[in-house]
Each structure stands twice: as structure tokens, then as C-alpha cells.
Amino acid sequence: MSEPRFDSLAFDEIPRPHFADVIVRPLPPGVTLDPAEWADAIFSPEGAPRWVRAAFILREALVPLIGVPRGSPDTFTVARVEGEEAVIVAPDTHLFFCCAVGVDPRRRLVRVTTTVRLHGWRGRLYFAPVKLVHPVVVQSMLRRASRTLHRRARAR
């Protein structure tokens, strides 16, 4: 029996995370297999569901109250692509966030792996509510990106 595999570049960036999750979705027919295109579609502010955009606006209004910096437009920019994964890294004063978007063409799956390392009380306070909604937010963003990329593939 072979050893189980559970690997992602997100765990190379943050080997011992305080928080981690993995969201997987089937690939629609004909969509791109480029993980960077998937990452861009998932984290595109214009492509995010309205309620997710509203949550980000609320985040931006509240974080200064605990001394956490506001987000920047390039926070979710792909830092590098290695093999099947596009990696986004966002080190900050309150936490270190990493997300790896992987595409598995053989299994016809797209996977979003998130790892987070918290820094101090601000990181713990900030992330307490975030960890509750994070899986739902990522599932929603991935579902939306899947529909967008599927529409683009059909239009070609």
C-alpha cells in the first residue's frame, strides 16, 4: 500500500499553519488547465459574488480599528507557477497567507489550498471571524470562477 499524498506548495510556504483548508471542485468541460488563469479568475474582484465584495468592503472598514493594514489591490497576485499550481503569498504584520490554486487535468479537478500563519493578538483577533466564513467564501469564489471560465471556453 502506498503512502497517502497530501501535498501543495502552500505547505512549502507555511509548513506549520495555524489554519489550513482545501476546497476542490470538478473542472467543467473545455476550460483552461492553466492554474494562473484559474487563480486570476478566482481572485478577480470583478468576478467575486456580490456578497463577497460586500464582505471585503466591510473588512476594509473594520481592520484599522485593530491596527491591521487595509488590503492592497495586488494582495492576490500570482507570485509564481510551479507544475500544476499557481501560488499567491501575502505576508503581512498580522498574518502570513498563502494560497495555491492547483489544476489536475487527469482527475479533472481544480483545488484551492489555503494556509495561514497568525502573528500576535491582532492576527488571532482578525482571523477569529474569518476562519468561520473562509470555506464558504472560497467555495463561492471558486464556483463563480468555474462558471466564468466555462462560459469563456464555450464562447471560443
Instruction: Tell me which amino acid residue 72 is.
Output: S
Q: What is the pLDDT of residue 83?
A: 94
Above 70 in pLDDT, residue 51? yes
DSSP sequence for the chain: -PPP----HHHHHSSS-SEEEEEEEEPPTT----HHHHHHHHH-TTTS-HHHHHHHHHHHHHGGGGTPPPP-TTTT---EEETTEEEEEEE-SSEEEEEEEEEETTTTEEEEEEEEEE-HHHHHHHHHHHHHHHHHHHHHHHHHHHHHHHHHHHH-
Cell numbers found for residue 108: 479533472
pLDDT in tens, 22-50: 999 999 999 999 999 999 999 998 778 89
d(CA 17, CA 127): 13
**pLDDT mean over 8-24:** 96
Identify which of 80, 145, 104 has the alpha carbon closest to the alpha carbon of residue 7. 104
d(CA 56, CA 70): 10
Q: What is the pLDDT of residue 25?
A: 96
In order of start, what are the domains of the chain with their CATH numbers? 16-148 (3.30.530)
**pLDDT mean over 42-64:** 88
Q: Which residue has the higher pLDDT, 53 or 112?
A: 112
